[in-house]
A and B are shown apart, each in its own frame.
Chain A
Amino acid sequence: GAVVSQHPSRVICKSGTSVKIECRSLDFQATTMFWYRQFPKQSLMLMATSNEGSKATYEQGVEKDKFLINHASLTLSTLTVTSAHPEDSSFYICSARGGSETQYFGPGTRLLVL
């Protein structure tokens, strides 16, 4: 089956620093990758959609200068949280889609900003 990995699984950082999260499709080529954020006891909220080789499309209310997304290859997308603050602490989940409609979800990255 299709496998998506994320790295790191957990990160703690100081306020004001930047954090990069990687999302990889391990056994298929992902033409589209999605980044979600999930706060405790809430649903998944789509932050942005990225297509390989083009700029990401951000959802309303998501600051593109704060959440930098790069989808440089068909197997890798990165999300960089710039100048992180405590309110950015959340569970970040990526998903990847290849030739079908189905999205395959990564294991998630828990970010804690102190």
Chain B
Amino acid sequence: ELKVEQNPLFLSMQEGKNYTIYCNYSTTSDRLYWYRQDPGKSLESLFVLLSNGAVKQEGRLMASLDTKARLSTLHITAAVHDLSATYFCAVPQRGTSGSRLTFGEGTQLTVNP
């Protein structure tokens, strides 16, 4: 059974600081997704990482994927308050009904002024 673990689960940081969120998964996968969720809202797609060594950047967020280590990172550079949200990674898993996503527990990020 695929397990997806995020670390840390809670992160409180000051504006302007850098930090990294980690996502480990237990079985082989060639892709990984990162999502953002604001309180009371659904998921917003941030990144799709499609291969080993993939790196994508959007604004102050940068995501990478190491399929051999089964690890993805979401790096936050010079955090701002607007980045406060919960961040989920998700890994697809092949099944009889096709591919399904298994989500990590989520990392609740709070950026303080």
Contact = CB atoms under 8 A, between A and B. Distances in A.
A105 B42 contact: yes
Interface residues of B, number: 23
Given A43-B105, A43-B106, A44-B88, A105 B43 contact: yes
Q: Mostly helix, strand, loop or mixed at chain B's interface?
A: strand
Contact of A34 (B35, B88, B100, B105): B100
A90 interface: no
A77 interface: no
A32 B101 CA distance: 13
B111 interface: no
Interface of B: 31, 35, 40-43, 45, 48, 88, 92, 95-106, 108
A110 B41 CA distance: 10
Interface string A74-86: 0000000000000
**Chain A: interface residue count, which band?**
20 to 34
A73 interface: no
Contacts of A97: 98
Nearest to A10: B40
Interface in A56-114: 57, 93, 97, 101-108, 110
Interface in A1-44: 32, 34, 41-44
Given A43-B88, A44-B88, A102-B48, A108 B99 contact: no
A100 B29 CA distance: 16
A104 B101 CA distance: 12
Interface in A36-55: 41-44, 46, 49, 51
Contacts of B103: 43-44
